[in-house]
Amino acid sequence: MPIRKKEHTDWLSRKRSALMVVSSLIAMVAYQAAIAPPGGALRADETVDEKGNPLKHCWKAGNAVMAYNQGIEY
């Protein structure tokens, strides 16, 4: 009976490919969180409330809603 040689597998190449997929997914999630923050983004500047009274903290368009509602957690 002939002795079988183990087939050579390029484990380093497979490992590199797997790490590339994982790093791409992490980068995609980070990019998505930066573009669309949790709670959405403010659409317009607000300096007064619905009654016309000036707001204590003015809201700037483009900032995350969660940053105003839950500042410490954000």
Per domain, the residue ranges of the chain are 8-37
Tell me the per-residue pLDDT of 14-71, one tens digit each, with 9 for 90 and over.
899 999 999 999 999 988 877 777 667 666 667 777 787 877 777 777 777 777 767 6
DSSP assignment string, the chain:
-PPPPPPP--HHHHHHHHHHHHHHHHHHHHHHHHHS-TT-B--S-EEE-TTSPEEEEEEPTTSBHHHHHSTTT-
Q: Answer whether residue 4 shows pLDDT above 90.
A: no
pTM of the full predicted structure? 0.46
